[in-house]
Structure 1
Amino acid sequence: MANDKKDVLQQVDDSVRRQGKTLIRSARYGSLGTLDPADGSPFVTRVSLATSMDGSPVFLISRLSGHFRNLEADTRCSLLVGEPGKGDPLAHPRLTIVGTAECISSDVAREHVKQRYLRRHPKAELYADFPDFAFWKFKITRASLNGGFGKAYAFKSSDLVTSLEGVESLADAEAGAVAHMNSDHSDAVDRYAAKVGAKLNGWSLSTLDPEGLDLTHGDQIARLWFDAPLASAQDLRPVLVALAKTD
């Protein structure tokens, strides 16, 4: 008997990949689902988010929390991101990510993630270095994008994770570049924000990656994509200069 079940999934193209990546890069928080080792029950909580340079979500949680203990027992987890917006919350795009979480133990990796996280959540500086807190990186296995009614897509990890091949040194240059732009070129940062429709001035550059940059203004986050991914860390400066020019 033929399978008459309709396939509701649509084809993933570059514009859909960018939509999924934007939902992750611009998320300030998400709903984290873990598994309770006592009986395997799902356990869902809200966590504040940032991203590593490759676009993987990162979060900071306390060892005293239930989800920390759950992840120590079983690293499998899921994460929901996407702002509800006005009106029917089911009409707005959201992304469910499935994978595992890894506690960041390397001092170098932790410091880089910490700085990216604190530029997104500056109040977390009060407790980020407490001994009972740790950063975790979400390792994406697959994801499901619901872009609104009738818009469903299935992603592989490669659809959402950005390759860092050839731009490995960008991580070393990021903090200095961000500080320089915010202190000496705040007008350029505001022009970056204006390019993605922001109306206010006073934006700050938060993070950089090979495909674009993230800006913050209080609780607001704006994502600006480069026309093409950086081929090397040396390409960053000319790209930032070109983006600062008015159209």
Structure 2
Amino acid sequence: MTELGNEARRFVRGQHNGVLCTISQRIAGYPFGSVAPFILDAQGRPVVLISTLAEHTRNIVADPRVSLIVQPFTPDMQGAGRVTLVGRAERLESKDALGPRYLRYFPQAEAYLAMHDFAFYRIGPERIRYIGGFGKIHWIEAAAYLAGANHLAEAEAGILDHMNREHSDALFEYCRHFHGATPEAVEMIGIDGDGFDCRADGRVLRFDFPQAIVDAGGARQALVEMVQQCRI
């Protein structure tokens, strides 16, 4: 089951928009869905930036039970994989730890982040519904999904700075080799135990590590091996 949990977590890491479902207070007992951009923390828990004035925030304050459905935008929505994370949302008291990471993925949200009525809410999953394709349908326990916790959060900013300043050539090679893309500008914006993300001409591209890593040393080795693979 841990293998399925890792697969589901890797799937979610490749997406950055979902539908957040809360329990409506205005229409008692009914589900309320809203579009929700999100990032993941080191363990793979979704984090959303929402306003205290928003309907879904009022719902969460009254009842923290939520679900987040994550699915890529494709012509065949039912044929694509998808994940629904069911859990509880909790407000994070500070924006400092995750603010820089959130803005790397959503730079357009800078004004929202600066407003006092916006705060981060993190969803702690309790069960995960993973549909990986036709006939591949599973319920996954939270422990299996969260098994890929890593220690890259503190090292992330340094790794990104190093790669963007010293190894921009490698970033272009990653784009070409793994995505068939030849962008004019590319920047690494995030790295975690399962892979990393680059913004290439405004589009976020996901790069998966062949094996999960847990620290900066493992990240360096994985990045070097991927460059070597590009140059074969």
Asked if these proteins are the same fold (TM beyond 0.5), I'd say: yes
Please, which of 118, 141, 162 is the counterpart of residue 180 of structure 1?
162
Cα distance in structure 2, aligned partners of 1:134 and 1:156:
28
Percent of counterpart pairs with the same letter?
31
TM-score, L = length of structure 1: 0.83
Q: 1:160 aligns with which of 114, 128, 145?
A: 145
- Who is 1:207 aligned against? 190
Q: CA deviation at 1:100?
A: 0.7
What are the Cα deviations for residues 141-177 of structure 1, in whole angstroms up to 9, with x where unaligned?
A: 111122333221111112322443xx53x32221121
1:1-247 map, 5 Å: 12=1, 14=3, 16-38=4-26, 39-86=28-75, 88-105=76-93, 107=94, 110-164=95-149, 167-168=150-151, 170-201=152-183, 202-218=185-201, 220-245=203-228, 246-247=231-232
Greater shift after overlay, 188-197 or 175-184? 188-197
2:43 alignment partner, SS class:
coil
C-alpha RMSD of matched pairs (Å): 2.1
Match of 1:5 in 2: none
Question: For residues 146 and 133 of structure 1, what CA distance do their matches in structure 2 show?
Answer: 32
C-alpha distance in structure 1 between counterparts of 2:88 and 2:201, whole Å: 30
Cα distance between partner residues in 1 of 2:48 and 2:176: 29
Q: Structure 1 residue 193: deviation in Å?
A: 3.0
> Which has the larger displacement, 212-221 or 122-131?
212-221
Question: Per the alignment, do residues 157 and 198 of structure 1 end up closer, same or farther by CA in structure 2, a change over 3 Å counting?
Answer: farther
Give, as a single letter, the amino acid of the residue that structure 2 aligns with 1:61: I
Which deviates further from its counterpart, 112-121 or 215-224? 215-224
* Alpha carbons 1:25, 1:214 under 8 Å: kept: no
- Would the alpha carbon gap of residues 151 and 231 (structure 1) be closer, same or farther in structure 2, given more than 3 Å must change? closer
Q: CA deviation at 1:85?
A: 0.9
Is the radius of gyration larger for structure 1 or structure 2?
A: 1
Task: Return the offset for 1:188.
Answer: 0.9
Count of equivalent residues: 228
Change over 3 Å in CA distance of 1:91–1:232 after alignment to 2 = closer
Instruction: Mark the runs of 5 or more structure 2 residues left unpaired by the alignment.
Output: none
152-161 vs 65-74, greater mean Cα deviation: 152-161
Amino acid at match of 2:19: S
CA contact (8 A) 1:26 1:221 kept: no
C-alpha displacement of 1:218 = 5.0
* Equivalence for 1:9: none
Runs of 4+ in 1 over 6 A off after TM superposition: none
Q: TM-score, normalized by length of structure 2?
A: 0.88
